[in-house]
Chain A
């Protein structure tokens, strides 16, 4: 695994505009960064990332199966009790999932370590599935990279196939797609999924989360009063289940992607349970609930809320002292601790691997860098190749 500097494609911003990639620069900071790329060997990809990703996912499903059968664990995961039946049902029925992203610490040697599982609302999908794919095509076409250069990235192909599976499962030809207002990045992610759905023959209609309505006969509606019967939502279940329309979920009979059982996988309470069921697994970091940790803890630990986004509300525990690393609005539902594991450093950058799954199939990676060792949402996205 190397970081190699390279020439950005002349006029790539124009190309981005043509393809509707509008969030390559955000808040005045570069987000898409093609002034360098990461290079992996096929062995690193297959043995160290792809296979562990598939295995970690199966381990997560094992935890889901335990949690839904245990009231105490459902409470531990801070799932509101009045929604337990729905969560359980979605798992028992095996409501189909679309995708997930595991955040892994990996620097080219040794086992990759799972930091967390973005199983409900992962982003950076468009730039992974399409934009870095196009980057590689362009560089190979211009002989800037060898023709045999490859990329671990079958996301688009798998997403399209998965939409076909989901449409067949629910016997549908149309879905709604939803995200929140005022975010180009989320809208771009959802548009990409709409494109994939359309390629699978599924018609897509868009509605903002905030615009979803409730009809007199209990169905969710879009702005044109059409019923929402099948919906992809880029909006976390932990929020939805605490909002006004949560109690309408039962009557509305909508099928959701991601399904409700993903609220267990995307919850950081997953991490201590993984460690409990699979202790010393090479791809796991030791983890405990913060209020149930061993009395003697050596070394550095990271404390995270059960629910949080973008690295918010994280603290460092060391020798009994707690140092806040990031602020945020989360934490009322409880915390977990996870053994601190340094991110690998390439030049002045700390690097994090996002490892994608479509349903249960490993489907590619994304590489993000930050100048801070706690990766925030300010990180940059770099393409990668396999040689």
Chain B
């Protein structure tokens, strides 16, 4: 049999926009899993502060700080949904909470655990919130998943991972934007000839 000429598999759940995860931003404290590189570090998933404290009885303060970091990250970067139904469709019944803000309310899943790496490092440790799903409709079911939708291998019983720290290329610091609109002027110029062309797009 000849080789198939089309994409073998597409995760339709991920392509479905009505229920897709829509992260606002991803925390700088994130750690990142990858299959390569030598600088990967051991990371461990905890589902409670107690679990962490049992592993590090001499560094309980660090566990507390890592937990707090993850909770703050979760508040900031957790997936957000417009309705409880959409959130529960992805994360399961009673797995979501309502959050009120100045701009209206939305639903986000509860943090199910936090991943910690290099907790005893004098310089910097990593901590990030993790989620899991109890929904039969979700590709995240019984898996650890980050706020931006990265799904770790293995199910939630797996607690130890090798991860790459998110420290590769530090972003430049920007204090102030001086001007905007320096790109895009050709669009206005070229659009003004008003032909029958139906598209305002510049793809070809």
Contacts and interface: CB of A to CB of B under 8 A. Distances in A.
A36 interface: no
B197 A172 contact: no
Contacts, number: 213
A42 interface: yes
Interface in B151-183: 166, 168-169, 171-183
B162 to A, nearest CB: 15
B203 interface: yes
B198 to A, nearest CB: 4
B201 A195 contact: no
Contact of B174 (A153, A182, A226): A226
A210 B193 contact: no
Contacts of B200: 180, 182-183
A227 B172 contact: yes
B14 A195 contact: yes
Contacts of B104: none
Contacts of B124: none
Given A130-B15, A150-B5, A239-B187, A121 B204 contact: yes
Interface centre among B5, B176, B186 (most CB of A within 10 A): B5
B7 A217 contact: no
Given A182-B200, A210-B184, A157 B172 contact: no
Contact of A183 (B5, B14, B201): B201
Contact of B183 (A198, A209, A377): A209
Nearest to A132: B6
A215 B198 contact: no
Contact of A245 (B12, B25, B183, B199): B183
Interface stretch (A18-26, A76-84, A288-296, A316-324): A18-26
Nearest to A240: B183
Place the interface of chain A in its size category: 35 or more
A236 interface: yes
Given A45-B5, A229-B172, A180 B184 contact: yes
Contacts of B184: 180-181, 208-210, 212, 235, 243
A129 interface: yes
A47 interface: no
Interface residues of B, number: 59
Contact of B175 (A123, A151, A216): A216
Contact of B203 (A168, A189, A376): A189
Contact of A217 (B150, B172, B203): B172
A355 to B, nearest CB: 13
A142 B14 CA distance: 23
B204 A203 contact: no
Given A195-B14, A216-B176, A217-B172, A210 B198 contact: no
A225 interface: yes
A201 B150 contact: yes
A203 B77 CA distance: 13
A245 to B, nearest CB: 3
Contacts of A32: none
B172 A173 contact: no
Nearest to B164: A173
A187 to B, nearest CB: 9
B203 A242 contact: no
A244 B203 contact: no
A177 interface: no
A264 B183 CA distance: 20
A17 to B, nearest CB: 8
Contacts of A27: 198
A244 B189 CA distance: 14
A213 B177 contact: yes
Contacts of A266: 204
A328 B194 CA distance: 9
A310 B204 contact: yes
Given A121-B203, A378-B196, 11 more contacts: A153-B7, A173-B168, A183-B200, A185-B201, A212-B184, A213-B177, A226-B171, A229-B171, A243-B182, A244-B185, A386-B5
Interface of B: 2, 4-8, 10-12, 14-18, 20, 23, 25-26, 32-34, 36, 148-150, 166, 168-169, 171-187, 189-190, 192-193, 195-204
6 contacts: A45-B5, A153-B5, A157-B8, A180-B184, A215-B174, A312-B197
